[in-house]
Amino acid sequence: MKLPEKGREVTLAEIAVICRQYGLTDLWKKIKDDPPVIPFKSDGCSLWLDQWHGIDLYPACFLHDLKYWCGYPGEEAERLIADAELMIHIARAGAPGMAQLIFAGVRIGGHAAFRRSFSWGFGRRPV
């Protein structure tokens, strides 16, 4: 399945299909039961590269953005899991060194306290 392009608003119906395709049943339930108020758009690998030496990092970053978009305040374990899954996805794509670097970056820069367009829970509150 080809994921929606960077910057395009993704409908809940499309998100449902993506979650099914990637086996993200719990994520879809969270979104369906309480959709974030801000529509979902992925910015790809926030402030980073979407491609690295011919490796497409965008799918991993898109799914990570989806998890961050619907996050609730205080979900520290869920955020850590999302970040670890991003690292694993990128490592499996063939960029293990980059995966570690990106993991460190999202752990530092993705905290909800920064209230950025890519911070944890960005779909649930105005930036």
Burial of 98 (0-12, 13-18, 19+ CB in 10 A): buried
Model confidence, pTM? 0.95
Provide the token pair at 16. Answer: 């449902």
Identify the pLDDT of residue 126.
Answer: 67
Identify the pLDDT of residue 5.
Answer: 96
Burial of 21 (0-12, 13-18, 19+ CB in 10 A): exposed
Side chain identity at 8, as an amino acid letter?
A: R
Identify the pLDDT of residue 111.
Answer: 92
Which residues fall within 8 angstroms of residue 48, CB to CB, at 6 or more apart?
Answer: 57, 61, 102, 105
The one-character DSSP state at 55 is E
Identify the pLDDT of residue 125.
Answer: 83
Identify the pLDDT of residue 1.
Answer: 76
Instruction: Write out the chain's pLDDT in tens, 127 residues.
Output: 799 999 999 999 999 999 999 999 999 999 999 999 999 999 999 989 899 999 999 999 999 999 999 999 999 999 999 999 999 999 999 999 999 999 999 999 999 999 999 999 999 986 5
99-to-21, 37, 51, 57, 108 alpha-carbon distances in Å: 23, 30, 12, 9, 14
